[in-house]
Structure 1
Amino acid sequence: MSLTPLPRLIVEPLVRAALLEDLGLAGDITSAAVIPGEHRSTMMMAARQPGVIAGLDAAELAFTLVDPEIVMRRHIEDGDAVKTGDVIATIEGPSRGLLTAERTALNFLGHLSGIATVTAEIAAAISGSKASVACTRKTTPGLRALEKYAVRAGGGMNHRFALYDAVLIKDNHVAISGGVAEAIRRARAGVGHLVKVEVEVDRLDQLHEAMETGVDAVLLDNMTPDQLREAVAIVAGRAITEASGRVMPATAAAIAASGVDLISVGWLTHSAPVLDIGLDFVAAATAAETRAKRVASAL
């Protein structure tokens, strides 16, 4: 899989904020009291269940921001599938720093890998069709860039990133504007020529109105597979068709078989189960060993 990593400029502030939340005003008082300052460890990060990995950059940053002497050697990359017991990374360095960063690193990695995993499940379910699975703006506040990246790691596509990069006319816009056609006309008049316009419809009469007015995409909300097939026939290639509502791995194939271009799924980002990943002590390490690993990883 060709997956472009997020710039560090985007990821680091999110990881730094999470660490500051955990460290508070006194730092890791448990590790400071229990672990000698000079002690070093080798730890193994491994999958405790099958899934798709995403978030390794965030996890690594959690460790290196706490202590730059920590070295994380990856055995797989984001977007790779893992089985139970697969080793994801080996991490070496000062033991206090490893333990201080552990939970933040695993929080990011488990959450983002969970998103990648459920995305991959739906992508696999619709693999025989032309449809692609896409996420929505139903993201955790502050984590949208990471969560949408995780969707890409799982083989999905991203919908609009925010309110400013595309027009999506929803049911309340239509109600307040007085109808589908009027909402579309106002949108066309109010945005630039490069901005795409999509309208949400939940009835076929609304779809006819949208197509007569002209849009770039239609969001077919909560329609049955039979209704979706009829909607695709009405659109006839004149706009991108997107289905949403009641999408699960068990229902995705039937939705995709209707001929829609996209299937958008909000729960990919707001309700994906965390992928269980563990970090366990393997052995004590020396400073020389850690330095050697850092040099080797830089080559």
Structure 2
Amino acid sequence: MFSISDIDNIIINSLKEDMPAGDITTDNIIDENAMSFAKMIAKDSGVIAGLDVAKRVFELLDQDVKFDKHTEDGQWVSKGDVIATIHGKTRALLKGERTALNILQRLSGIATITRQYADKIKHLKAKVVDTRKTTPGLRMLEKYAVRVGGGTNHRFCLSDGVLIKDNHIKAAGGIKKAIELVRNKIPHTIKIEVETETIDQVLEAIDGKADIIMLDNMGLDMMKEAVKIINGKAIVEASGNVTLDTIVEIAETGVDIISVGSLTHSVRAFDISMKIT
């Protein structure tokens, strides 16, 4: 999944951003030895993701902090539920509050919307996957949240797999030419995906022996025709303007994968508050 050092780097950078020269409010009001107890409370209903990351925020600020989870990542919580309790130095609780909540709220929002998409098509073969439309610096966490919500991950980065998009096709002089160029330079273990917008492009991708064919912004009728033409010769991915209202019809065309950029690029944060008691 990811290492503790990866998480620490994200948290440390976030804390530096939030208090580059300390917290002038907390440091001048709260005694350095003061201790407090706090609750994290769900103000929405949905799927929680990122509790261990939130815990790590406070551990980096107070090595003796006690963070007790009242639920686990992937569990559904209701508005008003206490999702965690924290006991430690008051300064640490106050300094870590916003960073911990920002991460927890965003990841829980992603997990919640992913669960909604996944549940819509759980009776069909298609899988919901994410995209690279993520928050800079938070990709590993956001893709983790997608998995927590019941989705799966597309490639993590540009180094992971070949995806020949419209601009590559134009620059190379065609789909088949682009496939030939890349296939001669990559290991045989790496799959090649091609983005298509027309039936002619689908036929060219098949002729070039693409492993995965993306149907980009196609209408339902064209998508059905493309799936029939591909007929198992490649994995079929649907992409473009997928919503909760359209995903079932898209899945019913017979595609294998449905990529949804909105899982990460425009998700609404899951509302959580932290209250010192």
Out of 151, 168, 171, the residue aligned to residue 166 of structure 2 is 171
Unaligned runs of 5+ in 2: none
Equivalent residue number for residue 10 of structure 1: 6
Equivalent residue number for residue 251 of structure 2: 256
Is 2:268 the counterpart of 1:246? no
Shift of 1:28: 1.2
Is 2:90 the counterpart of 1:87? no
Equivalent residue number for residue 157 of structure 2: 162
1:22 partner amino acid: D
Report the aligned-residue RMSD: 1.1
Out of 29, 44, 59, the residue aligned to residue 64 of structure 1 is 59
Shift of 1:39: 2.1
Shift of 1:7: 2.2
Query: What is the distance in 2 between the residues matched to 1:261 and 1:10?
Result: 32
How many residues are aligned here?
277
Query: What is the distance in 2 between the residues matched to 1:268 and 1:255?
Result: 17
Q: 1:192-231 residue pairs with structure 2 within 5 A?
A: 192-231=187-226
Shift of 1:9: 2.1
TM-score by length of 1: 0.90
Shift of 1:29: 1.4
Contact 1:6 1:149 in 2 (8 A): no
Q: Percent identity?
A: 49
User: Which has the larger displacement, 191-200 or 51-60?
Assistant: 51-60
1:50 partner amino acid: S
Shift of 1:195: 0.9
Shift of 1:36: 2.5
Out of 20, 26, 29, the residue aligned to residue 31 of structure 1 is 26
Query: What is the distance in 2 between the residues matched to 1:45 and 1:24?
Result: 25
1:115 partner amino acid: I
Query: What is the distance in 2 between the residues matched to 1:86 and 1:250?
Result: 29
Shift of 1:44: 0.8
1:223 partner amino acid: M
The DSSP-based 3-state class of the residue aligned with 2:152 is coil
Unaligned runs of 5+ in 1: 283-299
* Cα displacement string for residues 110-162 of structure 1 (whole angstroms, at most 9, x for unaligned residues): 01111111111111111111011101111111111111111111111100111
TM-score by length of 2: 0.97
Contact 1:215 1:239 in 2 (8 A): yes
